Each structure stands twice: as C-alpha cells, then as structure tokens.
Structure 1
Amino acid sequence: MTSIDLRVYIEDTDAGGIVYHANYLNYLERGRTEWLRAKGFDQNSLLARNVALVVRRLECQYRLPAQLDDLLTVETVAGIPRHCTVAFEQQVMRDGKLLFRGMVDIACIDATRYKPARWPEDLLSAMTLDSQNA
C-alpha cells in the first residue's frame, strides 16, 4: 500500500467549496501513479517499454464531502493481478475518516497496438508483493 497527501484547492471545488465529484478520479490517478513510483516504475519508462496502463472499469462510492483547504490522504493497494488486469482498491481519507472509495480495474496493453498484453515480470512481481502485504 502507498499513501499520498493532497490539498484541496479552489480549482478542485464547485461554487459551494465542495470537491467536484469528477475530481476524485484525478486523486485516484495520482494515487496509482505514486504507487507505481514507490515500486520503482513511472509512466514514461513503461511507455518506452511499449506498456500502457488503462482504466478498464471503475466503481465509486461517495461517503462524505471534501472541502476547500482539506488535507486528504489517498491510499492505494493493488489486488491480485490476473493475466493482463489488476484491481486497485483506493480510498480518500480526511483525518482518518473515509470520504470516498474507488475500485479501479487497470488493464495492461501494448502501447502501439492497443491490445491486451501480459504484465512485465518486474511489474507483476511488485503487484503480487503489494497484494500479499495488504
């Protein structure tokens, strides 16, 4: 599992100072990007290896609103990887309270053909370790 902290800025909110619902998807994307970085990967190096990670399916549960200037924590953990997909469980928290939960299925694809591809062995190992430690 990895955690990152994010501050809610005015650009994240609606006219009432509440985080606009679609911005939670940006927070989840940042969480997965930093999960990759913590495991020694980044999007550019994966693309250089002809590997792209794309959202295949997304399930969201909104519980409590986040507001302007809140300090949020995004927690990300990888599930058990399959041939070319993995489910990430992600949470957005404020002061230990769950605000939002997302389940994001990510697919590994060949970046030039846009077809499903098997996970690179090193990335597969990192995901497997993360799911076992969750």
Structure 2
Amino acid sequence: MKIRVYYEDTDTGGIVYHSNYLNFCERARSQAFFDKGLTPVLDDGHFVAKKIIADYLKSAKLGDILDVKTELIEMKAASFTLKQTVYKEAEKLFELEILLAHISFEGAIKKMDKETKELILSLF
C-alpha cells in the first residue's frame, strides 16, 4: 500500500515521528480488508495487537511516498503474526512483526473459525 508522508506525520524537522510508522502499518492491514469489501471487524469478533517488535532503520521525510508490504508469518488457532515492512522505493526504512489476537466483542480471546482463517490467508 502506498502512503504519502504529510506534515502531520512529521516533527518540526520534517522527519516522520516514530509512532506514525505503526499507523502506516495499521492502515495497510485495514486496507487489505477494505480491498475485499470488508472491515477488520468481523461478525464474531475482531483483532487486537498483542505483541509488536519494531525496527527503525532509516527516517522517512515530509513528502516521501512510502510502500507498506505485509506478509503472513504464522497462523495459530486464535492469532496470527505478520511482518510489515515500510520502503521508500527499494530502501527499507522500517520493519515490524506484529502478533494479532482474535477476540470476541466481550474481549475474550477466541479461536478463529475456518472461514476467518481462510480470509486471513487470502488477505496476507
């Protein structure tokens, strides 16, 4: 997913503020659902971040066009792990590994049914 860096994404020096890389990755994950006419909120629950490992390699700057690539690393009964990488052209700027847990609307961890697992496999 392509993302342009706007003034609101940066500090006073025009460098992307560190937490905005997480926002860029969240947008890319949500966009995968939107591209299929869905939202990340499903009939039986939704996904929450349980664990994030982030690696900041180089800075993005005001006006840059970034590309967020997402790859499924692991699928378990009630969670899955993605690797998301932010590039400026061919240069890797940021990488994260995120564990997303499937939870019910009441907040309890919930196993994904077969259809949900197939959806995740088709998205990522």
Name the TM-score, length of structure 1 as normaliser: 0.85
Q: Which residue of 2 aligns with 1:121?
A: 114
CA distance in 2, matches of 1:18, 1:90: 20
Judged with a 3 Å threshold, the aligned counterparts in structure 2 of structure 1 residues 5 and 41 are, in CA distance, closer, same or farther, namely same
Offset of 1:126 from its aligned partner?
A: 2.9
CA distance in 2, matches of 1:69, 1:123: 37
- The 8 Å contact of residues 32 and 123 in structure 2, kept in 1 or not, is answered as no
Offset of 1:56 from its aligned partner?
A: 0.3
Q: Deviations over 1:59-111 (max 9, x none)?
A: 00001100000000011122231010100100000011100001010000011
Structure holding more helix per residue:
1
- The alignment partner of 2:95 has SS state of strand
CA distance in 2, matches of 1:79, 1:35: 16
CA distance in 2, matches of 1:80, 1:68: 34
CA distance in 1, matches of 2:113, 2:6: 37
Name the TM-score, length of structure 2 as normaliser: 0.91
C-alpha root-mean-square deviation of aligned residues, in Å?
1.6
1:6 paired with 2:25, answer no
Q: Which residue of 2 aligns with 1:84?
A: 78
Give the gaps of 5 or more residues in structure 1. none
Q: Which residue of 2 aligns with 1:20?
A: 17
Aligned length: 124
CA distance in 2, matches of 1:7, 1:61: 20
CA distance in 1, matches of 2:40, 2:98: 17
